[in-house]
Amino acid sequence: MSQHGQSFMRGTLVLSVAAFINRILGFISGMYIARVLGAEGIGILMMAHPLVPLVITITELGLPVAISKLVAEAHARGERMKVRRILHVSLAVTGFLSVSLTTITLLGSEWIASILLSDQRAYYAMLAITPIAPIVAVSAVLKGYFRGMQQMKTIAASDVLEHTVQIACVLALVHLLLPYGVAYAAAGAMAASVVSEVFSLLFLMTSYKLYGESKMPGETWASHLKQGRSTLGELLQIGLPTTGHGVIHSLYSTFQPLLITTSLALAGIGTALATKQFGMLAGYAFPLLFMPSFITQSLSTALIPAIGEAAANKNSLLIHERMNQALNLGLLIGAPATVILYVWATPLTTLVYHSPEAGLLLKILAPMFFLHYFDAPLHAILLGLGRAKATLWNYIIATAFKGVSIFVFGSQYGIIGVAYGIGIGIVMQTLLNFFSISSSIGFYWSIRPYVKVGICMMLMMICGHWTYNYVVSHGMPQLWCVITSIAFSLLLYFAALVLTGTVNWKSTRHRFSIPW
C-alpha cells in the first residue's frame, strides 16, 4: 500500500474509532435524557431542534467539503498563502451569515414558534439551542481545514471532547432545571449542546494556533478579503450543490414534527399524547436504529475520494470493486443489526428507555431500515461519480413521497402509520440511488452472497428468539437475558458466515476486503 493510501486508511480508522466513541457517549446521554424527561419531554426536544440545522446548513453553504478539497490541493502545491486565504474567506462568509441568521431567528422566535411548534412548551428549548449556529459554523470551517491538511486526529479529539462535555452539562443542567418543569429541563438539555460546542471550538482554535499555517509577512484580514473573490468562487462552485441537499433535508426536518402531530390529530389523538408518541418515535426508536450506521458513514466518507479518483482515471473495474466492497460491508453490518433491532425490539426499549410501548415502532421500522445501511454508500458513490444533482433530485422525490405517506397513513392509523410512512421513504430513496448508479455505470453483482447472508439472518433470528425465551423462562434478569441471547445469536451468525464461505477470515485479514 502506498504512503498516501496508508495515511488515508489511518485517517479513516481514527475517524471511525472516534465516531464509535461519540456514538456510545451520545447514546448514554440520550438514554439519561429519555429516562429523566420521558417521552413527552423528548417530544419537546425533537420539536425544538430542527430549525437549527436549517440555519447551520444555510450559513455553511457546503463550504466544509469545499475547504477540505481546496486546502489539500493548495497544500500539495506549497501555496501557503492560498491555504490561509481559503480559511479567512470561509470564516468571514460563515461568520457573517451565521450571526445574521441567528439574530433574525432570535428576534422572530415567537413568530417562528407560533408557526412551527405544535406544542408551545418547546419554545424555551428552541431559544436555548439557537445560539449554537455560529459556533458550529466556525467549527465546521476549521474541521474542513484540518481534513484538508490530513490532521484527522485533531478532528477526532475535538468530537470526543464535545460529547464528553455534553454529557457532563446534560447531567448538571437537566437535574438543576427539572424541578421547574419539563419545558425548562428540555431547554437545559439544549443549552448543554451549546456549551459542549463552545469547548470543541476552543480546542480547534487552540490546535490551529499550535499546528496551523503560520502568518505570512504583510498578511491581514483585509488583504485576504480583497483578493478573495476568486477563492470564494472556487468554494461556492463546490459547496452550493451540496447545500441544496442540506437545505431540503433541514426544511423537511423542521416541518416533520408539525406534519406528524397534525396527521396524528386527524387520527383523533390529542396534543399531549401526540407529543409523547412523536418522542417515542424520534427519541427512542431512531437512536437505536442509527446506532450501527457509524461504520457505513465512515466508509462513505472514505468512498467519495476513492470513487472520484477511479472515475478520473476511467478505471471502471476499480469503481465496481470499491462499490461491491462498500455494499458487502453494508450487508454484513446491516444484517445482524436488523435482526437484533427486530427480535429484541421491546426488550431493548424497555431496558434503555423504560418504554416497552416504543418496541412496536422499532419492530416496524427495523426491516425497512435495513436498506439505510446501503443508502449511505450509494449516496457516496454518486457523489464520487460527480452526480450530485442526481442525489439531490432523488432526495427531493423520496422526501416528498415520505411526507405524503406519513400524512396519509398517520391520519388513518396513528403513530404506526407514521412509522410505516417513514420506512417507505427510506426504501424509496435507496432504490432511487441504486437506479441512478445503474443508469450511470451499470450494476453487476452476484446474488449468491445475499442469499447466504439471508440464510444466516434467519438462523440468527431463530436462535435469538429461542435463546431469549429459554433464559427468560429460567428467571434470569432481563438485562442478562438480552445480553446472553444476543451474544449467542451473533456467535451463530458469524459462524454461519464462515461455514458458508461468505467470509474468508484469512483473506479479509490480509487484504482488508471481503472476498466476494
Higher pLDDT, 364 or 233: 364
Q: Which residue has the cell 440468527?
A: 460
Higher pLDDT, 295 or 421: 421
Say what the pLDDT of residue 45 is.
Answer: 73
* Mean pLDDT confidence for 198-216: 82
Domain ranges of the chain: 1-242, 267-445, 446-516
* Mean pLDDT confidence for 27-33: 77
**24 band by pLDDT with thresholds 50, 70 and 90:** confident
* Mean pLDDT confidence for 83-94: 84
**302 band by pLDDT with thresholds 50, 70 and 90:** low
Q: What is the pLDDT of residues 187-206, one digit of tens each?
A: 888 888 889 999 999 999 99
What are the distances in angstroms from CA 83 to CA 233, 244, 484?
A: 15, 26, 53
Say what the pLDDT of residue 127 is.
Answer: 78
d(CA 256, CA 99): 26
Query: Does residue 6 carry a pLDDT above 50?
Result: no
Helical packing angle, 316-343 and 478-499, nearest 10°: 150
Say what the pLDDT of residue 337 is.
Answer: 92
**223 band by pLDDT with thresholds 50, 70 and 90:** low
Query: Does residue 345 carry a pLDDT above 80?
Result: yes
329 neighbors 296 (Cβ within 8 angstroms) = yes
Say what the pLDDT of residue 272 is.
Answer: 80
Q: What is the pLDDT of residues 414-450, one digit of tens each?
A: 889 999 999 999 999 999 999 998 888 876 667 788 8
Say what the pLDDT of residue 69 is.
Answer: 67
**49 band by pLDDT with thresholds 50, 70 and 90:** low
What is the percent of the chain with per-residue pLDDT over 70, rounded to a whole number?
83
* Mean pLDDT confidence for 339-361: 90
What is the percent of the chain with per-residue pLDDT over 90, rounded to a whole number?
18
Query: Does residue 260 carry a pLDDT above 70?
Result: yes
d(CA 339, CA 455): 12
* Mean pLDDT confidence for 34-45: 75
Higher pLDDT, 441 or 224: 441
CA angle 470, 474, 476 (to 5 degrees): 100
d(CA 460, CA 411): 36
Say what the pLDDT of residue 117 is.
Answer: 66
DSSP class of residue 281 equals: I
Of 5-9, 108-112, 119-123, 278-282, give the range with the top mean pLDDT: 278-282
Say what the pLDDT of residue 10 is.
Answer: 62
> Considering only 230-244, 281-295, 414-428, 441-455, which range has the smallest mean pLDDT?
230-244
What are the distances in angstroms from CA 386 to CA 51, 362, 380?
A: 29, 35, 10
DSSP class of residue 214 equals: P
**154 band by pLDDT with thresholds 50, 70 and 90:** confident
d(CA 354, CA 356): 6
Q: What is the pLDDT of residues 461-516, one digit of tens each?
A: 999 999 999 999 888 888 899 999 999 999 999 999 888 877 765 544 443 344 44
Give the residue from 111, 142, 144, 139 showing the smallest Cα distance to 126: 111
Rg (CA), the chain: 24
User: Buried (b) or exposed (e) across 476-509, using 16+ Cβ within 10 A?
Assistant: beeeebbeebbebbbebbbebbeebebbbeeeee
d(CA 117, CA 332): 40
Say what the pLDDT of residue 79 is.
Answer: 74
355 neighbors 284 (Cβ within 8 angstroms) = yes
Average pLDDT over the chain reads 80
Q: What is the pLDDT of residues 368-378, one digit of tens each?
A: 989 888 888 88
**313 band by pLDDT with thresholds 50, 70 and 90:** low
DSSP class of residue 150 equals: T
d(CA 146, CA 212): 9
Say what the pLDDT of residue 14 is.
Answer: 75
C-alpha cell at 210: 499550535
Higher pLDDT, 370 or 282: 370
Q: What is the pLDDT of residues 162-185, one digit of tens each?
A: 888 988 888 888 888 888 888 888
d(CA 150, CA 156): 12
CA angle 479, 356, 483 (to 5 degrees): 20
